[in-house]
Amino acid sequence: MNPQIANLVLVLFIVQVARKFDMEDPNVLFYVRAFYASSQLLVMTLCYITKFKIKAKNDTTPLKYVEPAKPFQQEPNEVVQTTFRDYDLKKVDELINQTIIGVVIMSALHFYWNFTQPLFIQTILPVKNALQNNVIRIHLLGHKAEGELKRPFKIVSPFGALADAQQPATDKASIKKAEKAAKKNE
Ligand SMILES: *[C@@H]1O[C@H](CO)[C@@H](O)[C@H](O)[C@H]1NC(C)=O
Ligand SMILES: *[C@@H]1O[C@H](CO)[C@@H](O)[C@H](O)[C@H]1NC(C)=O
Ligand SMILES: *[C@@H]1O[C@H](CO)[C@@H](O)[C@H](O)[C@H]1NC(C)=O
């Protein structure tokens, strides 16, 4: 199933289950909050174990690719020269940042605006997303870094298959072209 649709079905299901809970009951509220907090802690733990493993492996295989400019930004495509180790660490840091931003937004929704429903969704989805994260799959779940897990990873458009995101390029011609463009801009 398309991952976006799978997530949507999962969210609808969680929303239905969440309605069965009496959130006015302080006991229920306590457990819902505790599950939410444990789940964020679990994701962070997975991230830090993964970072530890990447550093221990120290795979310094060079990686060079053209990073497509972000949509709606005027900057040219950028040539990135890195290693498997640094690339993977950066990807884990992105997930850590996402998790922290998620907690900040969730805290505001919950403690400021009294929303409780998103707590359920944000207890389950981040764990699912972490287990589907490319770097975690490679280093923690033992998947081979080939096929869809070949670096640089494909960029998944937030709009799903409707909008094909521009992909990082690794061929010599694209790298040369981007390097030339960068020189011109200096
Ligand atoms: C990782 O490998 C590089 C080169 O192969 C080496 O210079 C560096 O000291 C290593 N780092 C660690 C933490 O082992
Ligand atoms: C994560 O957030 C920190 C602090 O805002 C920032 O300095 C860093 O560049 C971010 N890392 C990634 C990989 O997005
Ligand atoms: C949130 O709930 C508390 C306690 O039930 C109440 O005092 C507060 O006014 C509510 N805040 C909002 C924004 O509804």
| Pocket lining: 113 vs ligand 3, CB cutoff 6 Å | yes
Query: How confident is the model over 150-156, as a mean pLDDT?
Result: 87
Query: What would you measure as the largest C-alpha separation in the chain, in angstroms?
Result: 64
Backbone angles phi, psi at 66, to 5 degrees: -100, 120
Atom 1, ligand 2: which residue's CA is nearest?
97
| Pocket lining: 94 vs ligand 2, CB cutoff 6 Å | yes
Average pLDDT in the chain: 88
Distance CA 23, CA 41 (A): 23
For residue 169, count other CB atoms closer than 10 A to its CB. 18
The domain total for the chain is 1
Enclosing domain of residue 38: 3-185
Atom 4, ligand 3: which residue's CA is nearest?
114
Q: What is the DSSP letter of 21?
A: S
Residue 162 is predicted with a pLDDT of 52
Residue 159 is predicted with a pLDDT of 60
Tens of pLDDT along 17-27? 888 888 888 99
**For strand 78-83 and strand 62-67, is the pairing parallel, antiparallel, or unpaired?**
antiparallel
Three-class DSSP category at 52 = helix
Q: Is the pLDDT assigned to residue 105 strictly greater than 70?
A: yes
Tens of pLDDT along 159-177? 655 556 678 888 888 888 8
**What tokens appear for 113 in the block?**
């605006």
Distance CA 135, CA 140 (A): 8
Q: pLDDT exceeding 70 applies to what percent of the chain?
A: 92
Tens of pLDDT along 46-78? 999 999 999 999 999 999 998 887 767 677 788
Mutation pick for ligand 3 pocket among 109, 113, 114 (CB with most ligand atoms within 8 Å)? 114
Tens of pLDDT along 132-147? 999 999 999 999 998 8
